Amino acid sequence: MFLFGLSDDAGRFDPLLLLVLALALEAVSGGVIGSLDSRWGVVSRVVPFIRALERKLNRDRRSPADRAMRGAILVLALTVAAGIFGWGVAWLTQNHDFGWLIELVLLWALLSQGRGYRQMKAVAAALNAGRLEVARTAVDPLFRHDPALMDKHGVPRASIEWTAWTFSADVVAPVFWYVLFGFPGLLVHRVLRLLDDTIGHSTPRFRAFGMAAARLDDILNLIPARLSALFITFAAVFVPTAKPMESWHVAWRDAGRHGSLNAGWPVAAMAGALGLTLAGPRRRAEGGTDEVWIGKGTARATGRDLGRALYLYAVACLINAGWLVALAVLGLSAGT
């Protein structure tokens, strides 16, 4: 890990052990702290701030080049601010006896493996009980496309895709960038993920203004997306009815067919592992899309299939934590 000279005593506190503890706390609590943060904490204040700046900077009368430049400046300013704040938190951890408590709480709030699981578990329960409208309401804030236009198979299918992509972007990627650059790396990734979710859309309004956010988010998720497909394949070995060989085969064959540069890897791995066909054409209010299908199983996904995906997700999260523990143990062994 690059500590940026935060401490002359590199052995004062091992950040990897701190991340392992934060992952364990977040998993056990089911993402409760992160949910509170999304309602009353930092995230709830940053998103309206981004939207207010977007309304001011992204005027319809401006040219696409002007809007793209203003969007890039916004992304640069928030990314630099996140890096500076993250560096300050990491400095406290390395230079003050109880500074690590601040970083632990922030990590607990920013990680979202348990929160994602809890959200989709509620959707699966509603689908299994035959309450399609309840399931649609539960996933509505999560999807960019309208769940009201999805049938009883479309909702679980999109939920499984969301679970796969969340594992990549919100579980594997934060850990990956923390291992490389500590808390500053994780926080910069989290801010860029937030920017991409808020303004990185391909709609006419955001195509130019959100281009920098979308491209940088793609870059930061390039390696984690491929790692996530590998972890899902390994997890399939330990999940009944899952198909590990098919998981990697479909990921290798179909990942590039997805409309996203990175999402295709975890989505295709999940589709192959569960024997499903995911993605495909979607119904939208403004018209249908011609996205290709991924996988070669059935497209008639159900709440039970979403439950299987969550089982696979949970095991993959354990594998993601496992390689982190292995790195921490290696680091401790090297220091003795």
Rounded Cα gap, residues 227 and 269, in angstroms: 11
Q: What is the pTM of this model?
A: 0.88
Rounded Cα gap, residues 270 and 249, in angstroms: 11
The answer to whether the CB of 96 falls within 8 A of the CB of 159 is no
Q: Once rounded to an integer, what is the mean pLDDT over residues 3-11?
A: 50
* Residue that is written with structure tokens 């990175």 in the block: 262
Q: Does 6 reside within a domain? A: no
Q: Does 281 reside within a domain? A: yes
Q: Where are the alpha helices (DSSP H) in the chain?
A: 15-29, 32-40, 42-57, 64-95, 99-110, 113-128, 132-139, 154-166, 173-199, 211-220, 222-236, 244-254, 264-274, 303-335
The answer, yes or no, to whether residue 334 has pLDDT greater than 60, is yes
The answer, yes or no, to whether residue 285 has pLDDT greater than 60, is no
Looking at residue 39, its pLDDT comes to 43
Rounded Cα gap, residues 191 and 81, in angstroms: 10
Q: Give the 3-state secondary structure of residue 287.
A: coil
Residue 55 C-alpha from the chain's centroid: 26
Q: Does 9 reside within a domain? A: no
Q: Does 8 reside within a domain? A: no
Q: Does 285 reside within a domain? A: yes
Q: Does 4 reside within a domain? A: no
Segment 217-259, tens digit of pLDDT: 999 999 999 999 999 999 999 998 899 999 999 999 999 888 8
The DSSP 8-state label assigned to residue 96 in this structure reads S
Q: Does 2 reside within a domain? A: no
Q: Does 7 reside within a domain? A: no
Mean pLDDT of the chain: 86
The amino acid at 291: E
SS percent in the chain: helix, strand, coil, step 5:
70, 0, 25
Segment 88-124, tens digit of pLDDT: 999 998 888 888 899 999 998 888 888 888 889 989 9
Segment 136-189, tens digit of pLDDT: 888 877 776 777 778 888 899 999 999 999 999 999 999 999 999 999 999 999
Number of domains within the chain: 1
Cβ atoms within 10 Å, residue 246 = 20
- Boundaries of domain holding 185: 15-335
The DSSP 8-state label assigned to residue 281 in this structure reads -
CA-based diameter of the chain, in Å? Answer: 63
